[in-house]
Amino acid sequence: MTKKNILETFENPHPQRDYQITSTCPEFTCVCPKTGQPDFATIVLEYVPDAYCVELKSLKLYLHSFRNDGHFHEDVTNCIANDLIELLTPRKLKIVGKFNKRGGIHTDIEVNYP
Protein backbone atom coordinates (compact mmCIF):
# COMPACT_ATOMS: atom_id res chain seq x y z
CA MET A 1 0.00 0.00 0.00
CA THR A 2 1.43 3.39 -0.97
CA LYS A 3 0.97 6.41 1.24
CA LYS A 4 -1.54 8.10 -1.04
CA ASN A 5 -3.81 5.03 -0.83
CA ILE A 6 -4.43 5.99 2.81
CA LEU A 7 -6.25 9.14 1.66
CA GLU A 8 -10.03 9.05 1.28
CA THR A 9 -12.48 11.53 -0.19
CA PHE A 10 -16.12 12.44 0.01
CA GLU A 11 -18.27 14.35 -2.46
CA ASN A 12 -18.18 18.11 -2.11
CA PRO A 13 -21.60 19.03 -0.69
CA HIS A 14 -21.50 22.47 -2.40
CA PRO A 15 -19.58 22.09 -5.69
CA GLN A 16 -21.39 25.09 -7.21
CA ARG A 17 -19.60 27.47 -4.80
CA ASP A 18 -15.96 28.35 -4.22
CA TYR A 19 -15.05 28.04 -0.55
CA GLN A 20 -11.77 27.38 1.20
CA ILE A 21 -11.02 24.51 3.54
CA THR A 22 -8.05 24.90 5.89
CA SER A 23 -6.65 21.95 7.84
CA THR A 24 -3.68 22.25 10.19
CA CYS A 25 -1.52 19.40 11.47
CA PRO A 26 0.76 20.77 14.23
CA GLU A 27 2.37 17.40 14.99
CA PHE A 28 3.95 16.42 11.66
CA THR A 29 7.23 14.54 11.89
CA CYS A 30 9.66 12.97 9.45
CA VAL A 31 13.36 12.15 9.57
CA CYS A 32 16.28 14.05 8.07
CA PRO A 33 17.74 11.81 5.33
CA LYS A 34 21.30 13.02 6.07
CA THR A 35 21.42 12.87 9.87
CA GLY A 36 18.57 10.52 10.78
CA GLN A 37 17.39 13.09 13.32
CA PRO A 38 13.65 13.80 13.61
CA ASP A 39 12.19 16.91 11.98
CA PHE A 40 9.07 18.50 13.42
CA ALA A 41 6.67 20.73 11.51
CA THR A 42 3.21 22.16 11.24
CA ILE A 43 1.61 21.32 7.91
CA VAL A 44 -1.14 23.68 6.77
CA LEU A 45 -3.40 22.60 3.90
CA GLU A 46 -5.62 25.20 2.26
CA TYR A 47 -7.72 24.27 -0.75
CA VAL A 48 -10.82 25.16 -2.73
CA PRO A 49 -12.48 21.84 -3.51
CA ASP A 50 -13.98 20.90 -6.84
CA ALA A 51 -15.87 17.59 -6.87
CA TYR A 52 -14.23 16.07 -3.77
CA CYS A 53 -12.99 16.93 -0.28
CA VAL A 54 -10.37 15.01 1.69
CA GLU A 55 -11.66 13.02 4.67
CA LEU A 56 -9.86 14.30 7.78
CA LYS A 57 -9.12 11.04 9.59
CA SER A 58 -7.47 9.68 6.44
CA LEU A 59 -5.49 12.93 6.11
CA LYS A 60 -4.25 12.55 9.69
CA LEU A 61 -3.20 8.93 9.08
CA TYR A 62 -1.55 9.90 5.80
CA LEU A 63 0.49 12.69 7.40
CA HIS A 64 1.49 10.45 10.31
CA SER A 65 2.73 7.83 7.83
CA PHE A 66 5.77 10.06 7.12
CA ARG A 67 6.97 9.72 10.72
CA ASN A 68 9.85 7.30 10.09
CA ASP A 69 10.67 8.31 6.50
CA GLY A 70 13.72 10.28 5.44
CA HIS A 71 12.74 13.42 3.50
CA PHE A 72 14.17 16.86 2.99
CA HIS A 73 11.69 19.61 3.88
CA GLU A 74 11.29 20.63 0.24
CA ASP A 75 10.64 17.05 -0.85
CA VAL A 76 8.08 16.07 1.75
CA THR A 77 6.05 19.25 1.26
CA ASN A 78 5.95 18.68 -2.50
CA CYS A 79 5.11 14.98 -2.07
CA ILE A 80 2.10 15.89 0.07
CA ALA A 81 1.01 18.48 -2.49
CA ASN A 82 1.40 16.02 -5.39
CA ASP A 83 -0.68 13.33 -3.67
CA LEU A 84 -3.47 15.75 -2.71
CA ILE A 85 -3.57 17.34 -6.17
CA GLU A 86 -3.83 13.89 -7.77
CA LEU A 87 -6.52 12.81 -5.30
CA LEU A 88 -8.71 15.92 -5.32
CA THR A 89 -7.98 17.88 -8.50
CA PRO A 90 -8.87 20.98 -6.47
CA ARG A 91 -9.65 24.39 -7.92
CA LYS A 92 -6.82 25.79 -5.78
CA LEU A 93 -4.44 24.29 -3.25
CA LYS A 94 -1.68 25.56 -1.00
CA ILE A 95 0.48 23.47 1.33
CA VAL A 96 2.78 25.15 3.81
CA GLY A 97 5.32 23.14 5.79
CA LYS A 98 6.47 25.20 8.78
CA PHE A 99 9.51 23.29 9.99
CA ASN A 100 10.94 23.83 13.45
CA LYS A 101 14.43 25.24 13.81
CA ARG A 102 17.32 23.03 12.86
CA GLY A 103 20.81 24.44 13.25
CA GLY A 104 19.26 27.77 14.24
CA ILE A 105 17.32 28.08 10.95
CA HIS A 106 13.53 27.97 10.72
CA THR A 107 12.28 26.92 7.28
CA ASP A 108 8.85 27.34 5.64
CA ILE A 109 8.12 25.56 2.36
CA GLU A 110 5.06 26.70 0.38
CA VAL A 111 3.60 24.85 -2.60
CA ASN A 112 0.80 26.43 -4.68
CA TYR A 113 -1.50 24.88 -7.29
CA PRO A 114 -2.24 25.86 -9.97
* Ranges assigned E (strand) in 3-104: 9-11, 21-31, 38-48, 52-54, 92-102
CA angle, 39 then 36 then 79, to 5°: 55
Active-site residue among 18, 25, 30, 32? 32
Active-site residue among 25, 39, 53, 79? 39
Is 30 designated active site? Answer: no
Is 32 designated active site? Answer: yes
For the annotated catalytic residues, the residue numbers are 32, 39
